[in-house]
C-alpha cells in the first residue's frame, strides 16, 4: 500500500468519513509492506500484510472459490502474458473512456480478480486501485507489479470499501455483480465513489430466455455451490476433458456454433488463442460456472433504472449486460448519502 493513498482513505465501518491513521512496521520506499490502519473514531484496526490492506471481516468471504481460481490461473487472462488483446478489447468495448483519457486518472476496479482489467488501465497510465474480497487480490498484486506505483490493491468487500466519497475519476466493475449476495446493493454502492461527472462502467451476466440453453449447467448448480473447492475443480477437469473436443468442433461451425450453450462446460473459442489456451480458458470458465455461491443475473434495463434513480447521468446500456453512466455534476443525496451497506 502506498502512503500517497492515505488522503483518499476513510473508515468503512463508521457512519462518518473518519480518516485512517497508518502505522508502518515494514516498507519498501513509499510502499508499506506490513503495518496497520486504525480509525481514530471507532478504533477499528485493519492489518496491512504483504503490501495489501486487509479490510475483511472474519467469516465474511463468500468468494473462496474465486481466490483459489485466480491464484491457480492468475496469468491466464492477462493479455501481455498470453500474447493477445482479449481483455483490452472487452475493457474498452464496455466502458465510456478512451485509452488517451486514462492517463493520470485515479480508477477503481471493484472486484478485480487476478487483475486482467487493472493491468489494462495501468498500461495506459491510470493509477488503479484494485479491490477484491478474496485471496485473488494477492494474484492481482503479482500480475500488476510491473506497473509500479500505478497499481494498488486492497482486500475489501464492495460493501465496505475504505474510501472517501467522490474521489475517483472513474469506476468499473466487470463480471462481478452477479456473484454478489445483493446485486442491487452492489449496483447502488459504487457510484458514491465517483467524482462529479466521472464515468462508471458495469458488465454482468444478462438475464434472458437463452439461459434455458444451459439447463445442464443450472441443474448441476443446484448442488455444486455446496461442494468443496477441490471437488469443483475435479468436476471442472472431468467435464472439460469430456466435452471440450466436441465443443471446440461445434464452436468452429458458422451456423451451429451457438449450440455450445447446451454443453455443461464453458466453451471458449477465439482465433487469438491457441487450442491449448482455449482448453485452459474453458477449464477456468467451467470452474467459474460451478464454484460461485451466487449467480444472480440482471436485466440491463433494470440496472439502468437503478442508476437513474441515484441521479446518475448519461445512463446507457445494451443487451448482453453492459451499462455505463456518469456521476451527476452535483452529487445527489441518493448517490452521496446512502447509508453504508453491510454484509
Residue 62 lies in a domain: yes
Assess whether 259 and 276 both reside in one domain.
Answer: yes
The CATH number that applies at residue 172 is 3.40.50.150
Is residue 36 classed as helix, strand or coil in its secondary structure? strand
Assess whether 228 and 318 both reside in one domain.
Answer: no
Beta bridge mates, 27: 32
Assess whether 166 and 80 both reside in one domain.
Answer: yes
Residue 1 lies in a domain: no
Higher confidence at residue 331 or residue 201? 201
| Local confidence band at 156 (pLDDT 50, 70, 90 cut-offs) | very high
Cell numbers given for 241: 476433458
Whose cell is 469430456? That residue is 242
Average pLDDT estimate for 301-322: 97
Does residue 226 surpass a pLDDT of 50?
Answer: yes
Does residue 15 surpass a pLDDT of 90?
Answer: no
CB 54: neighbour CB atoms within 10 A? Answer: 16
Does residue 62 surpass a pLDDT of 80?
Answer: no
Average pLDDT estimate for 67-74: 96
Do residues 70 and 134 lie in contact, with contact meaning Cβ atoms separated by under 8 Å?
yes
Assess whether 194 and 243 both reside in one domain.
Answer: no
Residue 103 lies in a domain: yes
DSSP H helical ranges for the chain? 64-72, 79-82, 86-93, 99-102, 116-123, 136-144, 183-189, 215-220, 229-251, 275-290, 300-309, 333-336
Cα distance between residue 135 and residue 114, in whole Å: 9
Assess whether 118 and 18 both reside in one domain.
Answer: no
Beta bridge mates, 316: 324
Assess whether 136 and 151 both reside in one domain.
Answer: yes
Is residue 118 classed as helix, strand or coil in its secondary structure? helix
Q: Give 262's DSSP letter.
A: G
Residue 42 lies in a domain: yes
Domain count, the chain: 3
Per-residue pLDDT, 111: 97
Residue 2 lies in a domain: no
Per-residue pLDDT, 342: 37
Assess whether 202 and 216 both reside in one domain.
Answer: no
Assess whether 193 and 75 both reside in one domain.
Answer: yes
Assess whether 190 and 224 both reside in one domain.
Answer: no
Average pLDDT estimate for 325-338: 69
Q: What is the mean pLDDT of the chain?
A: 93
- Over the stretch 84-113, which tens digit does the pLDDT of each residue have? 999 999 999 999 999 999 999 999 999 999
Q: Which domain holds residue 281?
A: 211-290
Residue 342 lies in a domain: no
Residue 124 lies in a domain: yes
Assess whether 264 and 327 both reside in one domain.
Answer: no
Query: Taking the model in full, what pTM does it have?
Result: 0.94
Assess whether 174 and 230 both reside in one domain.
Answer: no
Assess whether 194 and 307 both reside in one domain.
Answer: yes
Does residue 332 surpass a pLDDT of 70?
Answer: no
- DSSP conformation letters of 291-339: S-S----B-HHHHHHHHHHTT-EEEEEETTTEEEEE--SS--HHHHSPP
Per-residue pLDDT, 14: 87
Amino acid at each position: 500500500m502506498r502512503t500517497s493513498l492515505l488522503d483518499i482513505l476513510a473508515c468503512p465501518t463508521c457512519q462518518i468519513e473518519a480518516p485512517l491513521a497508518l502505522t508502518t512496521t515494514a516498507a519498501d520506499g513509499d510502499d508499506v509492506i506490513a503495518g496497520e490502519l486504525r480509525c481514530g473514531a471507532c478504533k477499528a484496526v485493519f492489518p496491512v500484510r504483504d503490501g495489501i490492506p486487509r479490510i475483511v471481516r472474519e467469516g465474511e468471504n463468500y468468494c473462496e472459490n474465486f481466490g483459489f481460481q485466480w491464484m491457480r490461473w492468475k496469468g491466464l487472462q492477462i493479455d501481455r502474458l498470453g500474447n493477445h488483446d482479449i481483455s483490452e478489447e472487452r475493457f474498452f468495448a464496455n466502458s465510456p473512456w478512451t485509452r488517451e483519457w486514462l492517463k493520470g486518472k485515479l480508477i477503481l476496479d471493484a472486484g478485480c480478480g487476478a487483475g486482467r482489467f487493472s493491468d489494462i488501465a495501468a498500461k495506459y497510465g491510470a493509477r488503479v486501485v484494485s479491490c477484491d474480497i478474496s485471496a485473488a487480490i494477492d494474484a492481482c498484486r503479482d500480475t500488476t507489479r510491473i506497473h509500479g506505483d500505478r497499481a494498488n490493491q486492497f482486500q475489501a468487500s464492495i460493501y465496505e470499501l475504505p474510501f472517501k466519497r467522490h474521489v475517483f475519476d472513474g469506476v468499473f466493475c466487470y463480471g462481478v455483480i452477479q456473484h454478489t449476495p445483493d446485486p442491487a446493493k452492489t449496483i447502488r454502492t459504487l457510484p458514491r465513489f465517483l467524482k462529479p461527472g466521472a464515468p462508471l462502467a458495469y458488465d454482468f451476466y444478462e438475464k434472458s430466455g437463452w439461459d434455458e440453453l444451459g439447463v445442464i449447467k443450472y441443474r448441476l448448480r443446484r448442488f455444486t455451490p455446496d461442494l468443496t473447492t477441490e471437488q469443483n475443480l475435479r468436476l471442472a477437469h472431468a467435464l472439460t476433458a469430456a466435452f471440450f473436443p466436441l465443443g471446440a468442433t461445434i464452436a468452429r461451425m458458422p451456423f451451429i456454433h451457438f449450440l455450445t450453450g447446451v454443453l455443461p462446460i464453458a466453451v471458449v473459442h477465439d482465433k487469438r488463442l491457441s487450442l491449448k489456451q482455449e482448453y485452459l480458458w474453458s477449464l477456468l470458465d467451467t470452474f467459474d460456472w460451478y464454484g460461485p455461491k451466487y449467480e444472480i443475473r440482471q436485466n440491463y434495463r433494470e440496472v439502468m433504472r437503478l442508476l437513474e434513480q441515484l441521479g446518475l447521468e448519461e445512463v446507457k446500456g445494451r443487451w448482453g449486460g453492459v451499462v455505463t453512466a456518469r456521476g451527476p455534476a452535483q452529487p445527489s443525496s441518493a448517490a452521496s448519502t446512502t447509508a453504508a451497506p453491510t454484509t
